[in-house]
Structures are given as structure tokens and as C-alpha cells.
A and B are shown apart, each in its own frame.
Chain A
Amino acid sequence: MPAVVPTARRRSGLRISKRALPYVLSLPALLVCIGILVPFFAAVLYSFQRYRLSQPWNRQYNWGENYLNFFTDPGFWNTLRVSLVYAGSTVVLELLLGLGIALLLQKRTRLNNFISIMLLMPLMTAPALAALMWKLMTNPGFGVLSYLAGLVGLQDFRWASSPSTALFTVVLVDIWVYTPFIMILLLAGLRSLPTQPFEAAALDGVPRSFVFFRITLPMLMPYILTATLFRLLDSIQQFDIIYAMTQGGPGDTLTVFQVEAYLNFFQSTNVGRSAALLMILWVITYFLSFVFIKNWLRLRERARGEA
């Protein structure tokens, strides 16, 4: 390629050598993000300090104390437990429900396509606003869901305002918002599966449960894995739904990592503890996303190789 010379052409006016070009193109995006990296390092430092906004004179390094305190801090174990229960239950329920719906909609009929497009709407609703919608529907005075709960014998079912049902309520909102995400991913997966194995199985009269567990499910696995890890990463960090619905309450029922860190920062102004909490959450998500990206790259390459 004689024309692709390492120096830029005079006519272009922009004289950038070929070696420098990719750096020049990606530099602005990088600079913007580096500006954001500074606070990240600040957060690392804060997590090793005794730092309260209300007592700036007391600010000093206490090294691992914020982290060591977690071992004997019931509040921390509550945060860890609630976050894991929330993430675990939302992801498992959404996966089962999403897979079920995707199987129902698998056939490309007009009605099925229409329904799958309608189901995008909850996913496109801002989670914070979705929480507000459900808050209106579960209002004890006039909420339609409170009324329906009363009809089926659950008098005085208090949804998000009672410690015993608050978790159930926010999980329900999360399911409402995010099940469609899993559904559309798995539907795309189901519809892209090759048809030959299924035709062969039908010819041989293989039972349908066998087809599902031995053919459909294994072939769908890459999609299930992608969907699960995406949701797991988001769900362990959930803030919008819980904060908009109950602000972590009642009491400390729903103080998941990010909500607890937010409250620590703005209400008790304990910057050190807040930063240490977020660092732990970051380690968890980093580990999860590391697993995710490794798997994803492998899947991408496989998909490209076959296509």
C-alpha cells in the first residue's frame, strides 16, 4: 500500500503521524475519564482515614481501622447480608421469569413480537420513577395494590413500610423493571439457535423435557451467563429503587452497600466509613466483572468464529 505513507497528507491540513493517530483520537475520551479517576484515588485514601465532615480537625490516617471495625460492626454485616440477599433473589427470580417468558414468546408470531416490544417499557422506565409508581400503588390510603391485597385477605399489608415486607416490595419493583432485560437477551438467544438439533430430536421422538435440559439449555448458556453477570453487577449496587422507595428503611432493613454509604456520607458525615464500604463493594464488583469480561471475550470470539 504505497499511498498509506506514515506521514499524513499535506492536503488534510491535520498533520498527524500514523503512529500517533490512534493516541490522538482516543486522548480526549481518556482525559475526560482521567479527571474522574482522581476522586477514585481520593476515595481509596478516605477509606484509610478517620474523616468526618462534621469534625474536619480530627481528620487523620487510621490505616486499616475503618475496615477492622467492620468485623465487630453489626451494621456492616447487615449491609452485606441485605445486599447479597437482594442481589441473589432478584437475579434468580428474574432469570427464571425471564427464561419462562422468552420460551413463551419464542415463536415469531405477530402477537409475540408485539408483546416483547411492550415488555421493553418497564425496562426503559427510570428505576427511581418506577419505585415512585409502585409507591403510589402500594399507598395504604388509596393504593390499588393495597386494595387488592385486602381483597385476598391480607388486611393491613404494609408493603415497603413494614420491616417484614419491605425487602419483598423492592425486590418486586426490581423484578418489574429488570426481568424484561433478561427476557430480551434470552429471546434473542433462543431465536438465534440452529434448528437442526431440534428437528432431529423431534424426528426421533425425544421427550420435550429431555430436549429442553439437554439441548436448549446448554446452547443457551452463553446468553444466560451474560444476562446473569450483567444483572448481578447492577443488582449488588442497587441504589435508585431502594432509595426512592424507602431511603434504606424502615430502620436499617434495606441499607444495601450504596444506600448505607450514601447515608453515612450525608447524614452521619462519616466519610471514612462510607469510603471503606464502597471499597469493599468495588472489590466485589471488580471480581465479578473480571469473571464477566473474561467469559464475554471468549463468547464474542466464539460467536465471531462461527458467524
Chain B
Amino acid sequence: MLTKELAIARYVDGQILPDRLSRTKHAKYLELAEQMCQVYRAGVGSMRKSLHHEIQKILEVDPECPIRRVGAFCKLLDDWSEFDAGKPKKTAQLRQRVFRQAANLHPLVANVESILDRSEIQAKQQIAQSENMTWHELERQLFSDIIEHHRLIKFDSPSDTKDLLARYNVAQTQAALLDAKQMVVESTADWKRILRFAKLANLMHRIEPIHDGFRFTLDGPASVLRGTHRYGVQMAKFLPGLLSCSGWSMEATILPKGFAKHADTPWGSKQRWVLKLDANSGLQSDTQAGGQTDSGVEQQLIESWKLMQLLLEGARDLEGWMLIREGDLLVRGQRVFFPDFTVVSPSGFRVLLEIVGFWTPEYRRHKAEVLAAFPDTPMLLAIPQSLKAQWKNHSFSVNHRVIYYGQEVLPGEIIRAIEENS
């Protein structure tokens, strides 16, 4: 991730537009990216300082290129690299030996004026000799452990140099989010993943249903007390995950620089910028897009349902029934529950279907808590025959029904259970 010092953005009509290199407007950057990667590929053994200098020289071709963009590319390339941190201990010991020796000759003067003066050149030769090297070698080693002097060992070149530009665009958007106060995501799909990434980033959520999905408002504990960008880093961390989801749009509120000074004034509290983004913004994430079901039983149910529809097309008993994977989401405070499926009857009656898979006491307790938190929601629980004993004494809410299954959950049994109870 980039630091704020490397962030570049434009501000237009209340919107913040992070620096973005596009294929049309910045066509030459494709070639520059190739050149930059080439510098690192060929740069094994070079000092970080000189690699960065090379990058600066490459980008000088573009007179419009801001200094921060140079810094940002250096940072991203460094992130793909491995540097030799030198031998800090040995180098520090070398320095201490050299400085102690020089202390006896202090001051090393360039203008020898009296017989007592110690000439810089002679003193340095003498000290270097006692270290068994030339002064030139000694000078090179003296500060070899500082970050700018580290030497490149390895560069994990991206398979496609376009990746560098893609990474740059995401990194600038993340950098803009560092000052974010709040993030609102509206989505028609992938809710579970969105919430999982929000949880990973340690953000708090508020969820409201909207016409074809949900609105997630993400921020942190102290956000209700004041506008703070304390959680900006977490929102920046959340972004790559969000980018790997589909069907979303996002609006982040960004606090302007120095907002705290004017926060109490009427104009200060209104001063803010908005960062807008959606699933089609063209930003690419390297977070892997999952989307597989959690268990084999669920996968099997989806397949049998499809098969049944195919075989019995037009058959009376399946007509009008729908099975939607993770189609609903139940919220109570910070507790969110995604039942595995939503089953919709021909008359539009919705029943949530949760497949119980494991036998551990923790798992059972967790499931029981979830059921207790949503006693008014019609739910169908599919429990394996083998766990019948475990759940025998559980008192279910009148809205919660149970079916026991053997090898797999059969569509017909689901429909029968719902029909019996409605």
C-alpha cells in the first residue's frame, strides 16, 4: 500500500478522483512500465537508491509526471522485490572500529597548516589499510546497511507489465481511502463475501435492505462519536476484496486535510469529498474471486435441483419453485446470518434453508444461537440422520422446521416439508 505522502488525486465537484493511468490517455505508460520492470529485472545487485534514480529518469519522459507518481512506482516495484539488508551488525561494528580509530586522529583536515594536523587523505588510507581494504572499498561499505543502500536480490517480475499499471491504479485509490471516514457499499450480489472482507478488515457494519439487495455502511467503533479517518487504513485494506466481488457500487466519504481544525464550524463539518466506485470501474484486484459453496452437500443439492428441473420440466410438483443460493441475509445488530439457500414457493412464500453439516459442540452451539436470534423467520433445517440424537432435545421455534437427511438433501423432501407446514 502507498502512504499518504505518495497519494495523487484531483478534486472535481465534490468528488475525489485518484490518479488513474488509462490505456487511452496514458498509452505511453505501457511502454514505460515495461522499461521500469526491465530496470528491476536487470538491476539485481544494484542499490535501491540507484534503481529509484533510474525509475525517475524513465518517467522524466513524461513532463506531466508528478514527483509522487515516481515515488509510488518505486514503492510498488520495491514491493515485488527482495533486497539484501546488508549485514547490519557487521557494518555497525565496522563503523565503530573506523570511528574509534579516527577519534585518535581527529580532526581529519584537508588544509594541513601545522605539523600537528592530520591529513584527511593519509588518515583514511591508514584506517582503510588496517581493515585490509582500500579507502574506496571502505567508503562503499561504511553505510551499506541503510535502506537506500540495500542491494536488489530478486525481482518477482509480473507476468504482464500491465499488472504494474493495474496495481498502481488500485494503490492510488487505496491511498485516497486512507482519509476515509465512512464507506457505503450497495450490492445486488456477493453479500457474504463483502461482509467477510469487511470483517477481515476489522470494520463495523450497518445493513439495510434496498430494492434489489443490501446497503452496507462500514466504519469503526468511534465513528458514531466523531468524523474520524482512524479506520481509513482498514477501508483501504478492504478495497481489494471488494474489487473481487460483483454487482456493487461504493461511495466513500473522505475527510479533507486539516478537517479537525474546522470540524466544529458549520462550514467545516460540511467539508468533505466523495470517492465513487463500482464493479465496472475497471480496477483489477489480485484477491482471488471465490464463490464456491461451503460443503459438498450444498453443491449436491444445487445439482439435483437442476437435474430435477431438467428431467421433470413442466412436472407439476416442481413448477414455480425456486432455489436461490445465499439469497437472503438476516441481520440483528452486529450478528449476520446467511442461510445457505432461500426456497421460494409458487405463491411467493419464502423459507430459508440451512444445511447443518458438522457435529462439533461449538458448531452446534453456534447454530443454536443463530436460530435463537431469529425466532420469527421461517426456516427449514436440514440435519444429517447421524446427528439426530444431538438435536433431539433442542426446542425449536414454531417457525423453524427440521428435516433429517441421509446421503443428500432431496429437493422433493424440501418441498414436501414446506407444503406440509404452510
- A interacts with B: no
